[in-house]
Chains A and B, each alone.
Chain A
């Protein structure tokens, strides 16, 4: 066991020496790896933030029933009764005055409303159906539109669904991008290790002649790939964190100008750890492939 640990410690130390022996080359590799990892990570973060931003909008599958302007208490009771009998889920009545008050909370709107002779908003019912399958919700909306005194029925979730689809496409593109850059990272490590193997061909040959196993030959390169990927991952984390920190202030300002309350969420520890871990893993894979090809040839 002690020998095993000694061999690993020695291989790790060799890998660190190799990284430090050519600082410029190491730095360039880290920049390439860091950039390759940071792009999909940044994209993922943007999508995550967009999802957060969309979190304050009406819940998916929400139906608004707008009453005719002349609708009175009797009409409201009639709709309530029908909703109760239909057992559609939960609902609440939003009187036109309450809707107006909510509208006034949005910056700039009170000035516009002040120019209007009377409250232009209708009374409304907001329904959250139990059955949220798209076809069930659409069927309900059609039923509601036939009810007396209901002027207009709106599926509030429509744009959220479109947004969800957009996010899904975005996520898919990020995954494809990550795959592409992950492959590039493996190739970068593969080539770096290949050049190292060529430079150390004599040493490898001698080592094998005097009793080195394939594992002994592989180990320093595997550590090198692992460390290079790990450091590249850390570099990517620092790039994304720095980018998020730079954008955070101006974005907060922009959102505040629109009267919203939202701030950019940076990399959390789990994502930062994953990014670093993925870098290390891909580096190790690149090194493993490169040494395997060499050992098969020799």
Chain B
């Protein structure tokens, strides 16, 4: 389903974030990309989400080579992903429900259908009682769950998350993990970049360990 071959990413400043990275991820797999800060996890996340293009190599997702993809086709590809960003990228001038409605507005879903799906997504992450909440009143864990709800509301087949438990306490992190497990159980391919080894040890996923831009370990 996802096939990366000889991926490299060198930034203009000369920093080589990824070097010759290759892997395959099958449909429905749960994969954790681990490694220390600066190992290349976020860069890999950005390449998989087509936010950036690799310097060399190829990434094929569902038969589409992201490297060869036209710029105008990228937004449509991104809609097939659920993306959870490291800093969540929530809109603090909108309430929880409006944040969830944004991806469906982009997809052009009718208002009634969008509202129904948004409420269902909020329910899945345990925020159904906070739909009108101002985001500043939400805890870190709630904000992260809201970000996950926004990522899954369009029913993506692949969920990509970058450091979803950063700055969360153990209980909140466990809650997030439970949510991911639930999505994985219904067949969503899950790719999570994290530096939290404790979190990884709670589940038994496939682990891709990065170090200095290279894959050091690929274990199940």
Chain A residues in contact with chain B, CB under 8 A?
Answer: 2-4, 6-7, 10, 202-203, 205-214, 216
A3-B78 in contact given A203-B91, A206-B89, A211-B103 (Cβ < 8 Å): no
Residue on B with the closest CB to A4?
A: B108
Nearest chain A CB to B7 CB, angstrom units: 20
A206-B91 in contact given A4-B108, A6-B110, A7-B108 (Cβ < 8 Å): yes
CA distance A207 to B107 in the complex (A): 11
Any A CB within 8 A of the CB of B76? yes
CA distance A298 to B12 in the complex (A): 17
Option from B89, B106, B150 in Cβ contact (under 8 Å) with A212:
B106
CA distance A3 to B105 in the complex (A): 9
Which residues of chain B have C-beta atoms less than 8 A from A212's C-beta?
75, 106
Which residues of chain A have C-beta atoms less than 8 A from B90's C-beta?
206
Contact A6–B103 (Cβ < 8 Å):
no
A211-B105 in contact given A205-B89, A206-B89, A206-B91 (Cβ < 8 Å): no
Contact B103–A210 (Cβ < 8 Å):
yes
Interface size on B, residues (CB 8 A): 24
For chain B residues 79-104, which have a beta carbon within 8 Å of chain A?
A: 79, 83, 85, 89-91, 93, 102-103
Contact A211–B89 (Cβ < 8 Å):
no
Option from A4, A10, A209 in Cβ contact (under 8 Å) with B51:
A209
Any A CB within 8 A of the CB of B109? yes
Contact B78–A211 (Cβ < 8 Å):
yes
CA distance A207 to B79 in the complex (A): 11
Residue on A with the closest CB to B79?
A: A211
> What DSSP secondary structure best describes chain A's contact surface?
helix
Which residues of chain B have C-beta atoms less than 8 A from A214's C-beta?
72
Nearest chain A CB to B177 CB, angstrom units: 23
Contact B108–A210 (Cβ < 8 Å):
no
Option from A4, A202, A205, A216 in Cβ contact (under 8 Å) with B106:
A216
Contact A209–B108 (Cβ < 8 Å):
no
Which residues of chain A have C-beta atoms less than 8 A from B150's C-beta?
210
Which residues of chain B have C-beta atoms less than 8 A from A7's C-beta?
105, 108
CA distance A216 to B76 in the complex (A): 12
Contact A207–B106 (Cβ < 8 Å):
yes
Residue on B with the closest CB to A212?
A: B106
Nearest chain A CB to B211 CB, angstrom units: 27
**Top 8 nearest A-B pairs by Cβ distance?**
A3-B108, A211-B79, A211-B78, A7-B108, A213-B75, A212-B106, A6-B108, A211-B75
CA distance A10 to B78 in the complex (A): 21
Interface centre among A2, A7, A207, A211, by most chain B C-beta atoms within 10 angstroms, is A211
Nearest chain A CB to B113 CB, angstrom units: 10
Contact A209–B110 (Cβ < 8 Å):
no
For chain B residues 45-77, which have a beta carbon within 8 Å of chain A?
A: 49, 51, 72, 75-76
A210-B91 in contact given A3-B109, A7-B108, A10-B105 (Cβ < 8 Å): no
Interface centre among B106, B107, B111, by most chain A C-beta atoms within 10 angstroms, is B106
Interface centre among B90, B107, B108, B111, by most chain A C-beta atoms within 10 angstroms, is B108
Contact A211–B106 (Cβ < 8 Å):
yes
Which residues of chain A have C-beta atoms less than 8 A from B109's C-beta?
3, 6
